[in-house]
Amino acid sequence: MSKLVPEEYIALLSEVKERVRNAQYAALRSVNRELIALYWDIGRMIVGRQVENSWGKSVVERLAADLQAEFPGVSGFSASNLWRMKGFYEVYAPSEKLAPLV
């Protein structure tokens, strides 16, 4: 292999750094998309079960405790967050444009 010329190396480094940044950004977008879909589904499931089974507020408290026990290292499943997920679904589900996007 021939010796790299400094200008060529600088160009290579620049291209690689750009590619790494693009991959990081794409990964973050993908993670965010999945989390939004997860929160939407959890909210949908809570709303659906409360309507079908006439469940009250205690189901959210119990669900939060059980999820936290099942996934001890994962944050985001507190009762207040589950209420937010439920609210997120309730607010945006009626929107004809937004609901299909989620």
Segment-wise mean pLDDT, segments of 10 residues, the chain, 102 residues: 78 96 97 94 95 88 96 93 96 78 60
Domain of 25, in residue numbers: 6-101
In-domain check, residue 85: yes
How many structural domains comprise the chain? 1
Say what the pLDDT of residue 30 is: 95
In-domain check, residue 77: yes
89 burial (CB, 10 Å; 0-12 / 13-18 / 19+) is: buried
Say what the pLDDT of residue 63 is: 96
In single-letter form, the type of residue at position 34 comes to E
Please identify which residue in the block is written with the tokens 């959210």: 60
Closest Cα partner for 16 from 88, 29, 100, 8?
A: 8
Say what the pLDDT of residue 56 is: 85
In-domain check, residue 55: yes
In-domain check, residue 1: no
CA 63 – CA 82 distance, rounded (Å): 9
